Chains A and B, each alone.
Chain A
């Protein structure tokens, strides 16, 4: 989320979830420039709010965009002819919304890249804030000599990737990618050192590394989500790492432990799907399917998690991944047949959900758990 100058009269700050680790805090409220000819910003608020709200369902985001629009209008007020302020505000509001969509678009499209195209971050700006230097020093010693010297040359001596590449006989892009991997490792080693733990399993480091680098493909490869359900150490350590790249607002995770989480999960899925412009019928179908698969988690496994994410390729759509670490389903084929029921219900859970979605897959391993992955595509998008 971008930091947005606050403008008087814009309502309380209701951004969701507060500031995330690693995200800069919102800029403090700055008073609008006052030397200008008087402009009644408050009079613009209703119309701007209406325009933004019509396009952005999420209240907190909409508030931010209203603020940003008003800030832009204020900044431009000297260049606007009298009488043009309202039309200008209208057009600006639309542009601000379009810009947000564009940014979201771009972020989604860059998600798959190995090289991090997000603005360069200091290796540990989020971690250092609360760190003790000893842990960082310890973490640094765990890097290879080459990793360490490259990182330090870049971060401390300020050497750029071009000249580093020349020295190392490599390309600037490769050096940048290497630096990102090193930063990711450093974050993991720092967390391990600060916590004074050795990872309990050989899978821990790869999982933590995948989370730290924000590389979602790698996270899938190492089945990071499942590992976090099973490994307490990683679950604990991963918390500051999960915040990375999580300015994403095109996915929602819901932890599932109890009945109430079924309702929470289906509402989260409906909210997210609404953004893609699904018809009311499809929205209700999606929510109903989520309800069925998440209930299975509550019934058969003690705990699990639902991930809801928006997709934009090959088409726009929504995917729901419901995982648990429960006993597993002994016969998946059987469970997908109508009438299969092991609890008080109509035995429609899985087969019914499958009928409501476009794609549906169940993977289950006795003793390890079950993962249901289902997708609904936008009909015309």
Chain B
């Protein structure tokens, strides 16, 4: 990625990717995150993506729309996306800001997110187990 502390990481776990954002990102960094993640989904042929945003103290309209775009692009590449780790105060701010939740699949944390993906994937023929 870049010099300095890593802003985010994308790890592979089975057919899923775990993308963790480590710190507050500005808009250009968010877009780079989006590019990297979408490229990785394509390269690894991932079936599911968990995006961990627990480290974000703000999810404003741009961040949310970026996450929504990621979800949409991932879907076109055959991967389901789950956002995990939204903190209580962040959730309240998002709602008051006027963000609709329908567009984002969410779960409490990484564990729940992976379980949810497992559930999604179990419904499709490619699911193993």
Flag whether B119 is at the interface (Cβ < 8 A): no
Contact of B99 among A266, A295, A346 (CB under 8 A): A346
State the CA gap A329–B96 with chains docked (Å). 24
State the CA gap A295–B27 with chains docked (Å). 9
Interface size class of A (residues with CB under 8 A): 20 to 34
The 28 listed contacts between A and B (C-beta, < 8 Å) are A258-B26, A259-B29, A262-B26, A263-B26, A270-B57, A284-B90, A284-B92, A284-B93, A287-B58, A288-B58, A291-B60, A292-B60, A292-B61, A295-B60, A295-B62, A338-B98, A344-B65, A345-B65, A346-B61, A346-B65, A346-B98, A347-B61, A348-B61, A348-B97, A348-B99, A352-B99, A355-B96, A356-B97
* Cross-chain contact A355 with B65 (CB below 8 angstroms): no
* Cross-chain contact A280 with B89 (CB below 8 angstroms): yes
Interface string of B28-52 (1 = CB under 8 A from A): 1100000000000000000000000
- CB of A313, distance to nearest CB on chain B (Å): 26
Contacts A263-B24, A263-B26, A295-B27 hold; do A288 and B97 have CB atoms under 8 A apart?
A: yes
Contacts A284-B57, A284-B89, A284-B90 hold; do A346 and B26 have CB atoms under 8 A apart?
A: no
Flag whether B64 is at the interface (Cβ < 8 A): yes
State the CA gap A292–B24 with chains docked (Å). 15
* Cross-chain contact B93 with A267 (CB below 8 angstroms): no
Q: B28 contacts which chain A residues (CB < 8 A)?
A: 259
- CB of B70, distance to nearest CB on chain A (Å): 13
Q: A260 contacts which chain B residues (CB < 8 A)?
A: 26
Interface string of A105-116 (1 = CB under 8 A from B): 000000000000
* Cross-chain contact B60 with A288 (CB below 8 angstroms): yes
Q: A346 contacts which chain B residues (CB < 8 A)?
A: 61, 64-65, 98-99
* Cross-chain contact B92 with A285 (CB below 8 angstroms): yes
Q: What is the size, in residues, of chain B's interface with A at 8 Å between Cβ atoms?
A: 25
Flag whether A369 is at the interface (Cβ < 8 A): no
A contact set with B: CB distance below 8 Å: 258-260, 262-263, 266-267, 270, 280-281, 283-285, 287-288, 291-292, 295, 298, 338, 344-349, 351-353, 355-356
* Cross-chain contact B97 with A292 (CB below 8 angstroms): yes
* Cross-chain contact A285 with B93 (CB below 8 angstroms): yes
Q: B94 contacts which chain A residues (CB < 8 A)?
A: 288
Contact of A281 among B59, B93, B97 (CB under 8 A): B93
State the CA gap A285–B90 with chains docked (Å). 8
State the CA gap A283–B92 with chains docked (Å). 11
Q: A338 contacts which chain B residues (CB < 8 A)?
A: 98
State the CA gap A237–B57 with chains docked (Å). 38
Q: A283 contacts which chain B residues (CB < 8 A)?
A: 89
* Cross-chain contact A355 with B98 (CB below 8 angstroms): yes
Q: A356 contacts which chain B residues (CB < 8 A)?
A: 93, 96-97
Nearest residue in A to B95 (C-beta to C-beta)?
Answer: A355
- CB of B103, distance to nearest CB on chain A (Å): 10
Nearest residue in B to A349 (C-beta to C-beta)?
Answer: B61
State the CA gap A355–B61 with chains docked (Å). 13
State the CA gap A352–B58 with chains docked (Å). 14
Q: B29 contacts which chain A residues (CB < 8 A)?
A: 259
The 10 A-B pairs of least Cβ separation, nearest first, read A352-B97, A259-B26, A284-B89, A291-B60, A288-B93, A348-B61, A259-B27, A280-B89, A281-B89, A284-B93
State the CA gap A292–B96 with chains docked (Å). 13
